[in-house]
Amino acid sequence: MGKQRARGQKAGVDFAIAMNRAYDETVMEMEHKISDLMIEQMCLDAQDAFCKREGVLMFAPANGVCPYCGMQIFGGEGYGILQAARRLITRCPYCSATFCD
């Protein structure tokens, strides 16, 4: 009976460890998505500030998503915060479609 209890406790511990790992992975995924959203918003804000400062129209999509290919143009492999703050964004970095038309 003692061996069964020990096996049961070990199974419970293994299950708890597996659940903690799954929870940690989920939290890390959520943190990554939140940081991506924050970077995207910071890029949009930087582009908006650049356009206001320079007195030019903002051509980048208001949601940061290219209307032609559907990719998020800010963050990740797209435009970074410094690029958005220093130059007028007029094209998609993925499909090269222009936002000026």
List the chain domain ranges.
Answer: 2-86
Model pTM? 0.69
Q: Are 66 and 90 in contact (CB under 8 A)?
A: no
pLDDT digits (tens), the chain, 101 positions: 555 555 556 666 676 676 667 666 665 676 667 688 889 999 999 999 999 999 999 999 999 999 999 999 998 889 999 999 999 999 999 999 999 98
Rounded CA-CA distance 26/58 in Å is: 36
